Amino acid sequence: MNKISPGKALIVDDEKTNRLILISLLKKQGYDCIEAVNGQEAIDLFSSESPGIIFMDVMMPEVDGYEATRQIKAASGSRFVPIIFLTAITDEEALSRCIDAGGDDVLVKPFDSFILSTKIRAMQRISLLHSEVQGMYSMIHREQEIAESVLINAVQGNNIKSPYLKDKIRPASTFSGDMVLSAYSPSQDLFLLIGDFTGHGLSAALGALPVSEIFHTMVSKGYSADNVLNAINKKLTSLLPVGMFLGVQLVVIDQELKHANIFNAGMPDLLVIDGATNEITHRIKSNSLPLGIVEDINTREICKFVTFQRNDKILMYSDGLTEARNLEDEKFGEFRLEDAISQAPLNGVYGNIFHGLDLFCEDRAQVDDVTLVELTCVQELVSKENIIEHQHAIKKPLANQGEWELVLNFTGLRLRETNPVPILVNHILEMEDLAEESQSLFTVITELYVNALDHGVLGLDSKMKSDPAGFANYFKERETRLMALESGYVNFELVVEQIANQRHIHLRVEDSGQGFDYENYRPPKEDSNALNGRGLMLIENLCDSLCFEGKGNIAKASITWVTQ
């Protein structure tokens, strides 16, 4: 039975006698031998012949053994090719140089057949172990790739897909601790969140799952940004170990693309960029601890109200971008980021930032996850067709017939802490097939509740919003009065009935306010540019009927749709 050859052995020595002696000994071990007389020949033969083991002399013309070994080890990549140095020198410094150059062992001249055989067997065992480790590593790497794909789909699979919303996460390892989440609310507001967990890798990435679930579920049900952030914070404080937390930027853009509510908790500055000049018009700094550190956070205090123009850009990024380093250990930093923004062509900011980052870092491996998001505020982003395409499917009821009623009363402190709109809307959607009418329903109930709370219970005058600057003052005063609220009420009464092939929702909303002179009230014309008083006009356009009773503190609205 023929013995299986162990493969090729490359002998590198400028002395022919040494090569002949070693060839004789290696052939007895079953090797096919090839020869090189200097380091350069060894490098060339390694590339063309792929030997399984190399015996390398130290001192040779042209390229010595040290340099040849370094180049061969670099070219071998993950493949283990043992290199045994041949030397007559036995001092410790010379032997240390051989190992430092990449050698795996040393064979001292003159050659001894027993020692040679022993070293070969040792190298063969190491080679076998290396192959097993590489196989295990490949399997683990493949499993990590699968897990990464599943994790990304689970976390970001329901995100908005639009050419006007660009985002990229460059993980420092297989798994990323950064995340980007986006969704439309039932009122057609756009929610955009980026998060950065402490560190990176699998431990950081796992925290993204509960955050994504809370975000998409609550946004789709119409909960406010306050509710979403508080729910995420409570979940993380119960899950995360000490020392781990989540930095967050959250932007909520109204459907008319006129303003945004922005939250920054433990993240770099969020930038709003003029779409016509690339000038930075707003810089929203962090003014809160990251999420997951303390149980209670006042999200209303950290909210910033920002107005902007169509075609402006909102830029969000993690600190991995500005803290990326080059080969000289310099940071990319805010200065280079802002220079890339100012020097970019219009509509080319996103690409120019990555271009500048790549030129700066060159081949330096990144040590943290890098995330960049650019949102361009154009009408196409909030078009009804785009929203319908990306909104979550609404659960269909088992039946769509029969009358039912619902009464909800919210008083005093409860009005400070709870938004009843998502509760009411989602109860209706669980009972009724209103996929196409859900946005109108949400808008009507929201406007009726806001009117009852703001103008009724809190006594705010809508004329405060007569100009863009007044919006900020209005919401500031609203927050002040809401936090001081201890009494008052808003009551909802809902009746759903079937008449012939039509289904009707009758909604009655009563508040404890002073009411208004509804008999002499005239809503603004549809072509008016007024920023106040448009809520009632909107409700009238969406409802089949709208009327007021009492002092004007009771509103009644009806919505009708055709059933099969």
Ordered structural domains, the chain, with CATH: 8-133 (3.40.50.2300), 157-386 (3.60.40.10), 393-562 (3.30.565.10)
The whole-angstrom distance between residue 535's C-alpha and the CA centroid of its chain comes to 35
What per-residue confidence (pLDDT) applies to 490? 94
The whole-angstrom distance between residue 184's C-alpha and the CA centroid of its chain comes to 17
> Which of 204, 196, 227 has its CA nearest to residue 214?
227
Q: Specify the DSSP element, H or E, that contains 443.
A: helix 438-450
What are the φ/ψ torsions at residue 296 (nearest 5 degrees)?
-115, 125
Residues 554 and 549: their CA atoms lie apart, in Å, by 5
Provide the total of helices (H) and of strands (E) in the chain, helices listed first: 18, 20
Residue 129 neighbours by CB distance under 10 Å: 11
Q: pLDDT tens across 349-369, in order? A: 999 999 999 999 988 888 888
Establish whether the linkage from the previous residue to 268 is cis, with ω within 30° of 0: no
What per-residue confidence (pLDDT) applies to 523? 58
What are the φ/ψ torsions at residue 426 (nearest 5 degrees)?
-70, -30
Token duo for residue 10 = 């490359």
Sites in the chain below the pLDDT cut of 50: 1, 392-399, 527-528, 530-531
Residues 386 and 393: their CA atoms lie apart, in Å, by 14
